[in-house]
Amino acid sequence: MSENKKHAEIVVITSGKGGVGKTTTTANIGVGLAMRDMKVALIDTDTGLRNLDLLLGLENRIMYDLVDVTEGRVPYKKALVPHKKFRNLFLLPTSQVKDKSSVNPDALMKLCDEMRSEFDYILIDCPAGIEQGFQTAIAGADCAIVVTMPEISAVRDADKIIGELGRADKDNIKLIVNRIRPQMVEQGDMLDMKDINDILSITCIGQVPDDEKVVTSTNRGEPVIMTEDSLAGRAYKNIVRRILGEDVEFMDLHKDTFLRRIKRAFGMN
């Protein structure tokens, strides 16, 4: 191969609390980086609960999985599933077996090191919780993205995860606040990015609105970042740009609400 050796940045996407959007975030950032001509591998480590394949529309193309690779049955290249549209995006699917301990931290670390020279970015989708699956997912990572929601229990769990990452010497941590509802923020009924930032003291690289398009795009197996006109898609595009080192302003999620118009009419905004 004439290709220059790469040196991938390995990023784990984690949250503590379940269902806050780790897998959605992994799929969107993965597609976004691939759209920017990066060579990207996504590793699903949520053993027994395979999802990332569905979000990417690759569920019918899986031949081998992560456990086949870590147990030495096939080389990782054989298990990688190329994306249909973005040919520089690959998925290493998780296994559907129940045993959560079937991949240990050492095995994943070894795999990451082996893959590093072939990719620009390797994103690891982490299972919820702080047990063995979490420890495995973070083992090989250079940095972490913690996904949370503007909700008291999700923020508390994010704080816990940040503590755990620190104990594992993973000090490069970024935050994404997902599922923000601008109208509730406006009414003073939902924490916004700044509130959460103040509480967790972690650099925030994105705020993603709660957006129906996330659901419809998931239905199609095409991450929302691929649709032109969605607010969530734009938010993910900005996140990708920040990951690539660009300085991007945070967008205004607030729609033109009634209250806002009144405030403006009185010169208060």
Partner 1 sequence: MFDALRKLFGSEKESSKQIAARRLQLVLVHDRASVSPEIMDKLREEIIGVISKYMDINRENMDISLANGDNDNSVALVANIPVSRMKHGK
Ligand X SMILES: Nc1ncnc2c1ncn2[C@@H]1O[C@H](COP(=O)(O)OP(=O)(O)OP(=O)(O)O)[C@@H](O)[C@H]1O
Residues binding partner 1 (CB under 8 A): 152, 155-156, 159-160, 163, 185, 187-192, 195, 198-199, 263, 268-269
46 binds ligand X, rule: CB under 6 A:
yes
Tell me: does residue 45 bind Mg ion (CB under 5 A).
no
CA distances from residue 74 to 62, 79, 111, 221 in whole angstroms, order as listed: 13, 7, 12, 27
Both tokens of 116, joined, read 């590093």
- Candidates 184, 194, 196; CA nearest to 20 is 196
Assess 192 for contact with ligand X (CB under 6 A): no
Does 47 interact with Mg ion (rule: CB under 5 A)?
Answer: no
- Whichever of 215 and 259 has its CB closer to ligand X, that residue is 215
By beta-carbon proximity to ligand X, the closer residue of 65 and 211 is 211
Sign of CA pseudo-dihedral 131, 133, 138, 140: positive
Query: Whose Cβ is closer to ligand X: residue 97's or residue 215's?
Result: 215
Question: Could you say whether residue 23 binds Mg ion (CB under 5 A)?
Answer: yes
Query: Which residue lies nearer to partner 1 by CB, 31 or 185?
Result: 185
Q: Residue 210 binds which entry of ligand X, Mg ion, partner 1, none, with Cβ cut-offs from 5 to 8 Å by kind?
A: ligand X
CB-based burial label for 147 (10 Å; 0-12, 13-18, 19+) = buried
Q: List strand residue ranges (DSSP E) for the chain, in order.
A: 9-14, 40-44, 81-82, 89-92, 121-125, 143-148, 173-180, 204-209
Q: How far apart are CA 82 and CA 74, in angstroms?
A: 16
Could you identify the residue written with the tokens 């607010």?
231
Give the total of residues touching ligand X (CB under 6 A): 20
Q: Looking at 32-40, 60-68, 190-198, 204-212, which segment touches ligand X (CB under 6 A)?
A: 204-212
Kindly list the residues in this chain that would bind Mg ion in the complex (CB under 5 A): 22-23
